Amino acid sequence: MMDFQTLLNFGIGVAVAVFGWFARELWVAVKDLKEDIHKIEVELPSHYLRKDEFAEGMKEIKDMLRQIFDKLDGKVDKHWGDK
């Protein structure tokens, strides 16, 4: 039969081995997450507009709408001015 010290050493060895395995799994998971985040950082600008690009596009649309409204206002004034 084993003495207490041998059982204690065996138990601590198993606990350390389990802890080491768990720590290794966490390390690999964090490494994989870092790689995934890096991929997202690289791909993100190609899928979505940057804030400044959106503002520039909206300015162009607003300018076009302003021109259309100015033309419409001129036509309404001419139409009502004839009567």
What mean pLDDT is predicted for residues 53-58? 93
Let me know the angle formed at the C-alpha of 58 by 55 and 60, rounded to the nearest 5 degrees: 115
Q: Per-residue confidence at 82, pLDDT binned at 50, 70, 90?
A: low
pLDDT confidence of residue 46: 79
> Which contiguous run of DSSP H or E holds residue 27?
helix 4-47
Q: Per-residue confidence at 2, pLDDT binned at 50, 70, 90?
A: confident
What mean pLDDT is predicted for residues 19-24? 98
Q: Give the torsion sign (CA, 56, 57, 62, 65).
A: positive
d(CA 61, CA 70): 14
